[in-house]
Amino acid sequence: MSWLFVFLGFCFLIILHEAGHFAAAKATGMRVERFFLFFGPTIWSFKRGETEYGVKSIPLGGYVKITGMNPEEDVPPEFAHRAYYRQKVWKRIVVVAAGPAVNIVLAFLILFGVAYVGSEEATQSIREVVPKSPAVGVLKPGDRIVAVDGSRYLSLSPSDRTAKFREEIGSHECKGKQKNGCIAATPVKLTIVRDGQTRVVAIRPEYKASAQQVLVGFAFGSQATDISVGEAADRAGGAIWSVARGTAHVFTHLFEEKQRKQVSGVVGISDVGHQVIEKGLERALLLLAFVSLSLGLVNLLPILPLDGGHIFWSLVEKLRGRPVSLRVMERATMIGIALVLMLFFLGLSNDIGRITGEGFEVR
């Protein structure tokens, strides 16, 4: 049943994305011919007004067909004034940007709601120790971690402090290739408080392909917190900014092996979604928010055929004062498709690597 919820979640995000394009096109006076979920042969459809709505058979996204999206398209004279490329540049940008904007706004609303209604802050106390992990026999539930490798981060909030502790642990790596189950070359030194006494323990963490880093094998506890509307909005905005900055860093350092490993495909996201849904509604909503945010941000990359590519070339047209030639657009689209396929290949390879521990051996 959880896989069904993952699939429905993806469909929901696609429909909202395309609905953003659809609503903006209608609002700016353009003619929308089709609004379909998925691609390929049509499974079911109906027509209402001038627009055909339906579902196709290949579950790889969706689309909204606006009259005149192709500059060389033969448009009936009665609809020429409503064609996409007959509109002002700002209208075209609004229509194209509306899809990613809906995904980003949805992510903000979910993150805001989760923060305001069910906000929890991580504590430094250990809630549980994972069976058969390096932490077994060394750490116990109730232990309080006060430093990792000597770093205490006293100026940070408890939640940010635990996040820094995780980063410190993750900085330890195995010798050579990072394979699932390998042990870090150097131990992580944890300063803990147990029964009122402070002690330092050394543990060699184990690399987990699913987490893409080494783990000691414990989970921090949490406690409920009451926050204001402003603080909830600030947390939601901060999370979005952090993801946006991280996404930009990954794509601008894509030739670095560590950053390539951050790219995930549909298989990987589906598997995470399946696991998260089984852990509760709040985590499922958070995953939905971050997938929606990623969908919006990736679509804003300035390459065709993504939405960001259309925005980029519309701005170029505005600056030039005249339309960009169709030949240039076609070449840009070919390059963009190659880049999108490369990202798809990387994501698929990483997904296979998480499942088998090997992948396509992409370096």
DSSP string spanning 5-64? HHHHHHHHHHHHHHHHHHHHHHHTTPPEEEEEEEEEEEEEEEEETTEEEEEEEEEEEEEE
* 53 contacts: CB under 8 Å, gap ≥ 6: 34, 35, 36, 45, 46, 47
The pLDDT of residue 323 is: 87
The pLDDT of residue 273 is: 45
The pLDDT of residue 9 is: 85
Report the helix count and the strand count for the chain, using DSSP H and E.
Answer: 9, 9
> Do the beta carbons of residue 13 and residue 6 sit within 8 Å?
no
The partner residues of 281 in beta bridges, in order of sequence, read none
The closest alpha carbon to 11, from 288, 219, 206, belongs to 288
The pLDDT of residue 348 is: 57
Domain extents in the chain = 2-31+67-115+287-356, 121-224
pLDDT 10s per residue in the chain (363 long)? Answer: 566 777 888 899 999 999 999 999 999 999 999 999 999 999 999 999 999 999 999 988 899 999 998 888 889 999 999 999 999 999 999 999 999 999 999 999 998 988 888 667 788 999 999 999 999 999 999 999 999 999 999 888 787 899 899 999 999 999 988 888 999 999 999 999 999 999 999 999 999 887 888 999 999 988 777 778 898 899 889 888 888 887 787 777 666 666 556 555 444 444 444 454 455 677 778 888 888 988 899 899 999 889 999 999 999 999 999 988 888 988 999 998 888 887 777 665 655 555 444 443 333
Looking at the domain 121-224, which fold is it? Answer: Pdz3 Domain (2.30.42)
The pLDDT of residue 1 is: 54
